[in-house]
A and B are shown apart, each in its own frame.
Chain A
């Protein structure tokens, strides 16, 4: 089955700096890669996603890049703010039908933004 590795497990940055979280996946058939943000005591919520036919996607201060050949994708947060502090999860899944609904998650990255 799919295996998703996520690094680093913890990341501490100063407010205003950039943060990068990286994930690798094992199944070349995976074609959908979401990123979730989980604030303390809350549920995970989708912040951005990318499909395998796209190399990069941006939404204001966050961006995701995908390298299909190397089977890795990354989350980039620019101009970090204290409210960006949370646990971030990457995930991967294949296309349609049956078990292809399943998302495989990385183990998460605790991002701390210091004022």
Chain B
């Protein structure tokens, strides 16, 4: 199993550009989520999904959209990038009750 994969690993955007961060998992996990990590702020939940076709907002959802058309994929869209969205983004997946949450390798995004 590849586990949780993310692409790209690094990305530089200009203010106002849009892009999609890709996330996929091959463990048939129902639950997937996106976090952003900023210095001193820990891991903050952006959006999550409890299954295909079901998404919900986390702690910091503004400026981001998600969709979950399949169990495997959970892309994160930045609609109009802003410098405040410069961060490291982690996708994660989880199966069932109290199981380990697996993280992807992360995407380092810089918005100029």
Is B truly associated with A? yes
Asked if residues A101 and B48 are in contact (CB atoms below 8 Å), the reply is yes
- Give the size of the chain B interface in residues (CB under 8 angstroms): 24
Number of A-B contacts (CB under 8 A): 53
Q: Any chain B CB within 8 A of the CB of A20?
A: no
Name the residue on B nearest A105 (C-beta). B43
Interface size on A, residues (CB 8 A): 27
- Name B39-72 residues within 8 Å CB distance of A: 40-45, 48, 50, 56, 58
Across the interface, B42 reaches (CB within 8 A) one of A34, A51, A98, A105, namely A105
Cβ of A44 and Cβ of B90 under 8 Å apart?
A: yes
Contact of B101 among A31, A46, A95 (CB under 8 A): A46
Once A101-B48, A105-B42 are accepted as A-B contacts, the answer to whether A96 and B104 lie under 8 Å apart by CB is: no
14 more A-B contacts (CB under 8 A) besides A42-B105, A96-B97, A107-B41?
A34-B100, A34-B101, A43-B103, A43-B104, A43-B106, A45-B103, A89-B43, A95-B98, A101-B50, A102-B58, A104-B45, A105-B43, A107-B40, A108-B43
Q: Which residues of A contact B (CB under 8 A)?
A: 6, 9, 31-32, 34, 42-46, 49, 51, 89, 93, 95-96, 98-108
